[in-house]
């Protein structure tokens, strides 16, 4: 297994779980980078992107695992510069900053959960 990006959730915005429930998506962002968005996003520790995220990679959020099915054109650049991307769960994203993933259940956005992209 090759880890490409791994962070720990440090804050879950008050609207982040509602956004996940209603839009099947959540927004990742380095902690403290945009305080005006804190209610909407899942903030995480700062990490370096170790490898490009591609279709077929895996995403782990806490104990839930997903397969990456689509990677927007800006995802790798945005992850490398601010830890920012939108994860779209069991739907197909259409925006350049979105990663689409498929899994059996919706992820749980909890403080201290690990978020990790990796290849097998």
The total number of structural domains in the chain stands at 1
Question: With 0-12 CB in 10 A as exposed, 13-18 as middle and 19+ as buried, what is 120?
Answer: exposed
- Other C-beta atoms within 10 Å of 1: how many? 7
Assign residue 81 the CATH number of its domain: 2.40.33.40
Q: pLDDT grade, residue 4 (50/70/90)?
A: very high
* Torsion sign over Cα 97, 111, 21, 33: negative
pLDDT digits (tens, 9 = 90+) for 26-68: 999 999 888 888 999 999 999 999 999 999 999 999 999 999 9
Residue 48 confidence (pLDDT): 96
Q: How far apart are CA 117 and CA 119, in angstroms?
A: 7
Residue 67 sits in which domain range?
2-119
Q: What is the pTM of this model?
A: 0.94
């Amino acid at each position: 297994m090759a880890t490409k990006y791994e962070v720990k959730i440090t804050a879950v915005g008050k609207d982040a779980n509602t956004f996940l429930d209603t839009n099947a998506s959540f927004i990742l962002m380095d902690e403290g980078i945009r305080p005006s968005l804190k209610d909407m996003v899942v903030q995480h520790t700062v990490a370096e992107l170790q490898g490009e995220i591609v279709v077929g990679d895996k995403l782990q959020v806490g104990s839930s695992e997903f397969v990456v099915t689509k990677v927007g054109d800006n995802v790798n650049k945005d992850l490398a510069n601010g830890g920012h991307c939108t994860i779209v769960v069991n739907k197909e994203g259409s925006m350049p900053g979105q990663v689409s993933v498929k899994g059996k259940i919706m992820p749980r956005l909890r403080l201290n959960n690990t978020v990790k992209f990796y290849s097998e």
